C-alpha cells in the first residue's frame, strides 16, 4: 500500500495495491501490521460501519468529543468528496480542512485520526461508504459542525450535484465554528 500525507499531515491518503486483469481485480483492503507501520503506532479498530446514500447527501461535519474516533474510510460503490477538519485546540492547523475524492474506481482510503471532524458529500447516484472506527459510536457524545461554516470555508463540489446538499435535521441545526467544542489537546 502507498500512504501519502495530505496537507493536514496526520490525515493520510491510503492507496492499496490493486491487481487487475480481464477477470476483475484483487486488493488487500485491510492489513493491521502495514497500517500500524504507516501511521507510526498501533491503532485498534472496534467498529465497522456501512452507510448508503444518494446523490447530493452530505453527512457531517461529525465528531465525538469525549470518545474521539479515528476513522479509516473508503467507498465500495459510487464516489464521494470526503473531508477532514482539524479540531484540536492546540494544533497549528486548527480549523483547516482537507478534501479528497474517494470512489469505487480509485480504491483510495482516508485515515482521519482522533481530533478531526469528518464529513462527506455523495457525488454519484448512490454511494456505499465503509469505515473502521477506533472507538465506539456514542450518540450522547456526538457533535456536529455546520458543513458550510464561513470560518472553515470548505470548497464542497456543489456543482457536481447540481445545487444544495440534502442534510439531516441534525446537520441542518449544527452550529458554526464560533460555538464549536474543540478537543482539549
User: Which grid coordinates belong to 126?
Assistant: 448512490
Give catalytic status of residue 183 as yes or no.
Answer: no
What are the residues facing 2 on neighbouring strands?
Answer: 15
* C-alpha to C-alpha distance for 145 and 87, rounded to whole angstroms: 10
Q: Judge whether 131 counts as a catalytic residue.
A: yes
Rounded to the nearest angstrom, the gap between the alpha carbon of residue 145 and the centroid of all alpha carbons in its chain is 14
> Catalytic pick from 63, 118, 131, 183?
131
- Looking at 62, 63, 118, 183, which residue is catalytic? 62
Under 8 Å between Cβ of 39 and 70: no
Q: Give the helix/strand (H/E) hosting 34.
A: helix 32-39
Distance between CA atoms of residues 152 and 10, nearest Å: 18
Residues designated catalytic: 62, 131
Amino acid at each position: 500500500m502507498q500512504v501519502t500525507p495530505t496537507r493536514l499531515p496526520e490525515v493520510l491518503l491510503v492507496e492499496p495495491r490493486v491487481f487487475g486483469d480481464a477477470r476483475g481485480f484483487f486488493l488487500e483492503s485491510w492489513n493491521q501490521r502495514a497500517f500500524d507501520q504507516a501511521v507510526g503506532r498501533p491503532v485498534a479498530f472496534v467498529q465497522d460501519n456501512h452507510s448508503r446514500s444518494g446523490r447530493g447527501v452530505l453527512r457531517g461535519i461529525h465528531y465525538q468529543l469525549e470518545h474521539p474516533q479515528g476513522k479509516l474510510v473508503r467507498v465500495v460503490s459510487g464516489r464521494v468528496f470526503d473531508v477532514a477538519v482539524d479540531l484540536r485546540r492546540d494544533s497549528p492547523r486548527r480549523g483547516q480542512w482537507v478534501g479528497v475524492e474517494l470512489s469505487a474506481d480509485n480504491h483510495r482510503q482516508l485515515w482521519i485520526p482522533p481530533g478531526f471532524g469528518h464529513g462527506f458529500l455523495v457525488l454519484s447516484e448512490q454511494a456505499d461508504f465503509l469505515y473502521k472506527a477506533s472507538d465506539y459510536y456514542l450518540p450522547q457524545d456526538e457533535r456536529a459542525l455546520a458543513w458550510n461554516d464561513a470560518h472553515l470555508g470548505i470548497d464542497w463540489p456543489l456543482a457536481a450535484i447540481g445545487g444544495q446538499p440534502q442534510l439531516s435535521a441534525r446537520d441542518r441545526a449544527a452550529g458554526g465554528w464560533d460555538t464549536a467544542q474543540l478537543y482539549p489537546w
